[in-house]
């Protein structure tokens, strides 16, 4: 998988993207059990599991290209289809990958999830993540690819200056998630330690990482953010970190909340700002672009109507190919016959080439062969 690479494209408004790590021992088994349970409950229309090599071989809707191949590090590919409000169809692919480096124990298995709906995405729809992963804190699927960060949890900023700057840099350049930093004006109680962003709508809840800065980190965190990202962190407030590259629609002042009360109450202003931020155009990382291409061009879980349509299109395509081959064969035969006739005329039928007969143009032989072989160049 590529690192730190972006394209000029933005995430389509019909698409939901996620990339994280599962730190448990059996990630694919966790996915399998969840898919089976949701299909039995009628939540999913259907699902499919493929080995990467099988997925690459059996791409059926479009000719397979490099972007539709999960790649050599892929472990398994899962597809699921379900419907949301007003019978809107959602198609999603989840691919699991071996970690890029095995130098550390507990690197976990990387996963990439791309989902697309037939209409622009509504954050109130169910989260695609919980269609594949169990919605349980006991299953550790929800870790960011940036180390030591987890969704649905509070993640305290590093105390070391250099580590803090590196964390901020990695979050904006490597992570696919939205990152929000909340400053604790004073040490919170048990209620205040709970993440405030769990009150977000379902589809947005699993796209946001909540960071916490302790009371004594006010100056150091503010300085690091100003230096690395050109944003400020208010005391006792919160700021939504900008994407990289930072787009023209991001307004640091707009996405800064001056007061966040860590008392267990719903922080409406912060939640509204996060929802607003999620509507902004977001850069589409190169590896996310590949995942989206794979979803669109490497889809395998066809409905009966799609299978029929595909079969009809394949019949038409094969018929056209057969007709082209037949036409080509006939043209070659006609050209060969014309060439033989021209050769017979030039040799008198005995294979011996003679000068042109008196009264005939010198170019007649060349003209005869040119007409014969022009059939190859101009099949019309």
Whether the full predicted model's pTM is greater than 0.95, yes or no, is no
Q: How many C-beta atoms surround the C-beta of residue 374 within 10 A? A: 11
Give percent of the chain above pLDDT 90.
65
Q: How many C-beta atoms surround the C-beta of residue 153 within 10 A? A: 16
Contact 6, 283 (CB under 8 A): yes
**Rounded alpha-carbon distances, angstroms, from residue 215 to 166, 232, 354:** 20, 15, 105
Retrieve residue 151's tokens.
């969704």
Q: Where are the alpha helices (DSSP H) in the chain?
A: 27-40, 52-57, 129-132, 161-173, 190-193, 202-205, 218-229, 268-278, 286-297, 304-347, 364-377
Question: What is the per-residue pLDDT across 248-301, written as a single tens digit (0 to 9) for each?
Answer: 899 999 999 999 999 999 999 999 999 999 999 999 988 999 999 999 999 999
Identify the pLDDT of residue 1: 42
Question: What is the per-residue pLDDT across 53-74, written as a single tens digit (0 to 9) for each?
Answer: 777 766 544 444 555 678 788 9
Contacts of 374 (CB under 8 A, 6+ apart): none
The length of the chain in residues reads 380
**Rounded alpha-carbon distances, angstroms, from residue 137 to 111, 134, 140, 151:** 17, 9, 7, 10
Contact 229, 168 (CB under 8 A): yes
Conformation bin of residue 349: beta by default, left when phi > 0, alpha when psi is -120 to 50: left
Identify the pLDDT of residue 214: 96
How far is the C-alpha of 276 from the C-alpha of 208, rounded, in Å?
13
E strand or H helix at 249? none
Contact 290, 280 (CB under 8 A): no
Mean pLDDT of the chain: 86
Identify the pLDDT of residue 99: 80
- Spell out the domain ranges in the chain: 6-297, 304-377
Q: How many C-beta atoms surround the C-beta of residue 37 within 10 A? A: 12
Contacts of 45 (CB under 8 A, 6+ apart): 39, 81, 82, 83, 303
How far is the C-alpha of 144 from the C-alpha of 177, rounded, in Å?
8
Which residues of the chain, if any, have pLDDT below 50?
1-6, 60-64, 103
């Amino acid at each position: 998988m590529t690192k730190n690479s972006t394209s000029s494209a933005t995430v389509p408004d019909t698409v939901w993207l996620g990339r994280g790590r599962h730190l448990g021992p059996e990630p694919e088994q966790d996915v399998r059990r969840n898919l089976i349970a949701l299909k039995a409950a009628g939540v999913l229309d259907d699902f499919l599991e493929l080995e990467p090599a099988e997925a690459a071989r059996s791409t059926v809707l479009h000719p397979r290209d490099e972007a539709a191949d999960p790649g050599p590090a892929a472990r398994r590919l899962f597809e699921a289809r379900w419907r949301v409000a007003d019978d809107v169809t959602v198609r999603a692919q989840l691919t699991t990958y071996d970690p890029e480096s095995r130098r550390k124990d507990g690197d976990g298995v990387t996963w990439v999830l791309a989902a697309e709906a037939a209409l622009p995405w509504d954050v109130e729809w169910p989260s695609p993540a919980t269609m594949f992963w169990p919605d349980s804190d006991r299953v550790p699927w929800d870790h960011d690819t940036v180390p030591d960060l987890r969704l649905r949890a509070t993640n305290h900023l590093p105390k070391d200056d250099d580590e803090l700057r590196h964390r901020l840099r990695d979050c904006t350049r490597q992570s696919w998630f939205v990152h929000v930093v909340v400053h604790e004006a004073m040490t919170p109680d048990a209620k205040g330690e709970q993440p405030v962003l769990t009150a977000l709508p379902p589809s947005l809840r699993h796209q946001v990482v909540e960071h916490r800065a302790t009371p004594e980190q006010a100056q150091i965190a503010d300085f690091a953010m100003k230096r690395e990202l050109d944003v400020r962190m208010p005391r006792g407030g919160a700021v939504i970190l900008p994407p990289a590259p930072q787009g023209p629609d991001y307004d640091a002042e707009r996405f800064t909340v001056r007061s966040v009360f860590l008392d267990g109450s719903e922080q409406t202003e912060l939640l509204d700002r996060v929802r607003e931020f999620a509507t902004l155009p977001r850069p589409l990382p190169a590896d996310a672009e590949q995942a989206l291409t794979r979803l669109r061009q490497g889809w395998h879980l066809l409905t009966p109507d799609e299978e029929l349509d595909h079969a009809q299109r394949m019949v038409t395509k094969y018929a056209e190919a057969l007709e082209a081959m037949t036409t080509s064969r006939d043209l070659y035969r006609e050209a060969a016959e014309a060439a033989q006739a021209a050769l017979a005329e030039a040799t008198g039928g005995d294979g011996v080439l003679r000068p042109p007969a008196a009264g005939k143009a010198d170019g007649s032989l060349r003209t005869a062969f040119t007409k014969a072989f022009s059939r190859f160049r101009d099949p019309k």
